[in-house]
Structure 1
Amino acid sequence: MENTAKHITRKDVERVYFTNKESQDITRPSLTYWQDVRRRFMKNKLAILGSVIIVLMVLFAVFGYALTTQNYYSQDLTMTNIPPRLEAYRMDEDTLLYVNSEYSLYTLDGSGKLKERVEAEDENKMMREKVYDVGGKKVVLNYSGAAKAAKARKDGDMKLANSVENFTLKIDGKTPEMEKVWNKTYRLGTDYLGRDMLARLVYGARISLLVALIATFAQFCIGVLYGGIAGYLGGRVDNIMMRIVDIVSTVPLTLYVVLLMVVMGPGIKTIIIALGSVYWVDMARQVRGQVLNIKQQEFVLAARTIGASGKRIMLKHLIPNAMSTIIVTLTMNIPSAIFTESFLSFIGLGISAPAASWGTLASDALGGLRSYPYQLLLPSLCICLTVLGFNFLGDGLRDALDPKLRK
């Protein structure tokens, strides 16, 4: 086999010469620490996604009421359990008919806005049939199929149960065609008391973000100061202060809330005080560990040598150098605070009626989970998205603030 490799001679090679000045040129622009943090953070797609989710949730909480004309506490018992998407029957160009899962008849205009619930003129309970007069037309609603489906389901004949129609609707003896329309009056539906789900979700977002803000403020003001003092002073003072932290962290949060509810009663104030009195513990431990490490370094010794006071060393040297740990801990504990508030409200120890919280919305939806799954899906989705957003943001900040990951 012929060797096709080319022999390299001196003519094929060009020597490159560098002057002393050119050899010292910087190959890329110098970046400060925070510029480098921003560069690494912007490369993290999940962190950007988390930031977008958080911004959207904040906008939803602030401007969400612009999407609805209802409020979170008004009840309309004639509009209970109306879903966001309706299976309606067209009676004419301007009127649609909708039958809910309780076999009540509603009229809608052509665009999907609910008008009213129609009262039956005659009802035959033996035949399971209701007769209405809508705009001079006779509307007959027969829901005898629901009994057949229930009996088949009880007998274990699921094939028959799934094939039987729960009800039939006839207008002047004719069966109209069914079409799906969006609910323009209640865009995300209503709950079991006829309250607007969108308005209650907006109010719940405000509660959750307020709790997150209070928990963050308590962590930063109490946890950073407490942990910084314990780490800087060290010795017996550090030992006593950290034993107090251990005592606070061993008492369950639920017990705090129950005791506060006995004294102050249920409400947002009780939740805020409970979270504010507990959530600074992890921050204090993290800051203490960072301060113990940083205070042994040379620049702190130099500050002491030139006569800097302990307050100045703490505020100007120790805490700023522990800021990366503080920011990450704050961001990672916010979703925990939101989830804790939702859990306490879910079990009845948080926000009380008529105020709305994502946890109370999920709790109210449990009774009708099979018939109205959207009532549980919507608050659960809000909780999951918010928690995921803060977790993505926290992971991105942790990676960006670590100088060892610089590339």
Structure 2
Amino acid sequence: MDIDRDLWERPEHTHRDMETLYKPARTFVQDVWFRFWRRPTAILGLILIILLMVFAVAGPFFTSHRYSDQDLAFVNIPPYFTAQEYGGRYFYVSQNLKLIEVNGEGKLIANIKSQKDDGQKKLIGFDAGGISLGIDYAQRPPALVDGQGVVVSRPHFFWNKTYLLGTDNLGRDLLTRLMYGARISLVVAFIAAFVNLVIGILFGGISGLFGGYLDLVMMRIVDIISTIPLTLYVILIMVFLNSGFLSIIIALSSVYWVNMARIVRGQILALKEQEFILAARTIGTSLGDILTRHLIPNAIGPIIVTATMLIPTAIFVEAFMSFIGLGVSAPMASWGTMCNDAIETFRISAYQLFIPSVAICIAMFAFNFVGDGLRDALDLKKGL
């Protein structure tokens, strides 16, 4: 095949152009983001965190229920249920042997009051606006029967349009309580992580920079705190301060900084013997400037990763404290208190425990995924 050389022309360039990299250089932040973006699990975790924050902050503005509102007429109603059709109307038999009328869209209309309870026949009678119905609880599961005792078996499946995630044992909306519980967990986690970040950086930075007897004394303090299980230490503090939202923050802030202090101290010990630190000391830079302007900025990678890992730990501890009754006070909603409330009805309404447990798992996985992604992205020794 002949090529017309007139259609081609030789590019003009100098010797300097041949040694120039035309791809624009990335900054450190851009390089970290590039590495982070290449981790699918890290991106997934970041998306989940954003959705969780939107769910917690904006979600309560789009619901007509409050976390403390109780409707004893609709107790333990699941998010998905089976209703029986009779006379063109739909009736749901709850686990508490209540008869609830539902419209054709899945919205709860009313809790029909019982007329009589025949203990011998194990039959509860109802008058649904001129229609005689009953619940035969001698059968398993309890069945809806008409006035002649014939079982009504025309099932229709509905999503609960009134309470999208169902209700608890006091008739409270689980979706709304889940939103407020996310607020509590995220606020506690972020405040505790920030306080631990500040205390850990200052404590570990001073210990590693000055060394000597000061380092020895400060690290022995850390060792003494570490000998006591951190969860037990938090429980003791909260018992002393009484349970509550503020007590959780104080307890977590006073304990969980020890790991941060150890990591910062290790980074400072490794960096303070570097040439740029020796040069800073030679020209008379103060120790405070060396710590704040040279050492801590160069150790920011492990610090950020550790702070990210502290958040899921704080979420779990807050949920655990609330679960055992040392967290937020009723009727305030928390994922831990929701799990605690669901224990009583676990056998008949397992969804009440499943929903907040899944929320806790999602939050912890999301922050751990982001922490793992940041750890890999900030490690420049790893390849792309």
Displacement, 1:248?
A: 1.8
Specify the SS of the correspondent of 1:121: strand
Q: Distance in 2 between matches of 1:34 and 1:213?
A: 23
Structure 1: gaps spanning 5 or more residues: 1-17, 147-164
Q: Which has the larger radius of gyration?
A: 1
Higher helix share: 1
Give the counterpart letter for 2:43 in structure 1. I
Identity among equivalent pairs (%): 49
Task: Return structure 1 stretches of 4+ with deviation > 4 angstroms.
Answer: 171-174
Give the one of 58, 61, 78 matched to 1:63: 58
Q: Aligned in 2, Cα 1:257/1:19: closer, same or farther, shift over 3 Å?
A: closer
How many residue pairs align between the two structures? 372
The residue aligned with 1:45 is: 40
Q: Aligned in 2, Cα 1:92/1:323: closer, same or farther, shift over 3 Å?
A: farther
Q: Distance in 1 between matches of 2:153 and 2:61?
A: 36
Preserved CA contact (<8 Å) 1:257 1:349: no
Where do 1:53-132 residues align within 5 Å? 53-91=48-86, 95-132=89-126
The 10-residue stretch of structure 1 (182-191 or 108-117) with the greater mean CA deviation from structure 2: 108-117
2:341 maps to 1:347: no
Specify the SS of the correspondent of 2:370: helix
Q: Distance in 2 between matches of 1:336 and 1:286?
A: 17
Give the one of 142, 148, 151 matched to 1:166: 142
2:272 maps to 1:278: no
Q: Distance in 2 between matches of 1:109 and 1:250?
A: 60
2:172 maps to 1:195: yes
Q: Aligned in 2, Cα 1:297/1:132: closer, same or farther, shift over 3 Å?
A: same
Structure 2: gaps spanning 5 or more residues: 1-12
The residue aligned with 1:314 is: 291
Displacement, 1:27?
A: 5.9
Where do 1:193-272 residues align within 5 Å? 193-272=170-249
Preserved CA contact (<8 Å) 1:231 1:291: yes
The 10-residue stretch of structure 1 (172-181 or 347-356) with the greater mean CA deviation from structure 2: 172-181
Please, what TM-score do these two structures have when normalized by structure 1?
0.86
Displacement, 1:278?
A: 0.6
Q: Distance in 2 between matches of 1:66 and 1:133?
A: 38
Give the counterpart letter for 2:138 in structure 1. S
Give the counterpart letter for 2:205 in structure 1. G
Q: Distance in 2 between matches of 1:346 and 1:301?
A: 52
Give the counterpart letter for 1:251 in structure 2. I
Cα deviation digits, residues 51-87 of structure 1 (max 9, x gap): 0111111111111213431111222222211111121
Give the one of 21, 25, 28 matched to 2:20: 25
Preserved CA contact (<8 Å) 2:93 2:144: no
Displacement, 1:136?
A: 1.9
Preserved CA contact (<8 Å) 1:219 1:280: yes
The residue aligned with 1:329 is: 306
Preserved CA contact (<8 Å) 1:218 1:279: no
Q: Distance in 2 between matches of 1:82 and 1:380?
A: 18
Preserved CA contact (<8 Å) 2:124 2:136: yes
Preserved CA contact (<8 Å) 1:191 1:197: yes
Q: Distance in 2 between matches of 1:78 and 1:192?
A: 11
The residue aligned with 2:342 is: 365
Preserved CA contact (<8 Å) 2:231 2:317: no
Displacement, 1:256?
A: 3.2
Give the counterpart letter for 2:132 in structure 1. K
